[in-house]
Amino acid sequence: MPVQISGTALEGLGNIPKNAEHSYQYLLIRLLLGTVTVSRGGTRSKQAIDYSSLPATVQTKNPAIAVRDFLTSYSVGGSVNRLIRLTCADNREFYREILSEFMNFYIQTKRGSSTVAFVFLYRILERISYSVPLLYASTQREFRGTFNDLKSILNAEIEGELSMFKKFLGKGRFIDPLKLQVAQKISFSTVGGYGGNYYDLTCDRFDKFVSKDRASHEVEIRFSEIPEFLITIRNRFFHSRTGDGKKNITTIEMPDSDEYFGKINPVIASFLAIVTLQTVAAKYHI
């Protein structure tokens, strides 16, 4: 039976454990492991990408094995039934909102509306940027290191929750420090010939790429830099005031915004999915 979230359905859940439909954490795991279909009206998007690894891969396992392997690889431990029992009444609104945002992202991506899909990714980042440090701190058995981390963050000069989130990630406790250094490739090459435009406007606004190749219109970005990249592109494209000196992106530079955001959305979605999965792992590990 499909599970409805504000008019959007998760389908293809199969024979799920008892009460699993009431656990938004379980449903999020199923979605981000690539084992369900998202539908609204006449739009159906089969989500078959496993975001639990870097880089993301096509999901080839059956759902039961995929979830079991996630519990093992993310050091959650225990059974799926245990996870569902612990999560059914815990942080329901937070995970329900995150689930809804991801579902909207997949629906808009399927429709070819990548610009709108990007907006939902930014909304996810805004939701997790404040909540994740608090969720992490509340789960730790050893408070000394956690306290020192949060103290250094809160005492620093940071501009808003997004800056706090980036500084928190940089501590390397919530996400494996090695994973933070993994570089992912973004290719701006297009059939229509706008790859050079997209490459230039991106490199002109963001300078923290690991590598850049003008000939192939490709860049590589570290996992840890993706939040700042997302924020930069969002600010420069969706703010278009003249004369503010911020090098805002014009539609002359970006002839097709859906084409452009379709190039960068997969890397951003990968980052947000791993952070979301990690919140579940940190909270419910044995």
DSSP-assigned letters across all residues of the chain = --EEETTEEEE---SPPTTGGG-HHHHHHHHHTT-EEEEETTEEEEE-EETTSSS-EE--S-HHHHHHHHHHHTT--S-HHHHHHHHTTSSHHHHHHHHHHHHHHHHHHHTT-HHHHHHHHHHHHHHHHHHHHHHHHHH-S-HHHHHHHHHHHHHS---HHHHHHHHHHHTSSSS-HHHHT-EEEEE---SSS-HHHHHHHHHHH----SEEETTTTEEEEEGGGHHHHHHHHHHHHH---TTSSS-PPPTTT-S-HHHHHHHHHHHHHHHHHHHHHHHHHHHH--
Looking at residue 175, its pLDDT comes to 84
Q: What is the mean pLDDT of residues 182-192?
A: 92
Give mean pLDDT, residues 191-197.
88
Residue pair 55/184 in contact by the 8 Å Cβ criterion:
yes
Q: pLDDT of 100-110, one tens digit each?
A: 999 999 999 99
In whole angstroms, give the CA distance from residue 284 to residue 14: 24
pTM above 0.75, yes or no: yes
d(CA 275, CA 51) in angstroms, rounded, equals 10
Ranges 62-76, 89-103, 159-173, 192-206: which has the least confidence: 159-173
- Give the per-residue pLDDT at 159: 53
- pLDDT tier, 196 (very low <50, low <70, confident <90, very high otherwise): very high
- Across the chain, what does the average pLDDT equal? 89
Judge contact between 272 and 128, C-beta under 8 A: yes
pLDDT band of residue 239 (cuts 50, 70, 90) is confident
pLDDT digits (tens, 9 = 90+) for 126-176: 888 877 776 666 665 554 555 566 656 555 544 555 666 777 777 766 788
Q: In the predicted model, is pLDDT for residue 260 greater than 60?
A: yes
- Shortest CA distance to 96 belongs to which of 34, 8, 1, 226? 8
Say what the pLDDT of residue 150 is: 60
pLDDT band at 283 (very low <50, low <70, confident <90, very high): confident
Can you give the pLDDT at residue 231? 92
pLDDT for position 254: 95
Mean pLDDT for 207-215 is 97
19-62 pLDDT, tens digit each: 999 999 999 999 999 999 999 999 999 999 999 999 999 999 99
What is the per-residue pLDDT for 128? Answer: 87
Q: Is the pLDDT of residue 124 over 60?
A: yes
Indicate the domain borders of the chain.
3-111, 180-261
Query: What pLDDT is recorded for position 88?
Result: 93
Paired tokens of 114: 């990548």
Q: In the prediction, which pLDDT does 148 show?
A: 63
Residue 244 pLDDT: 59
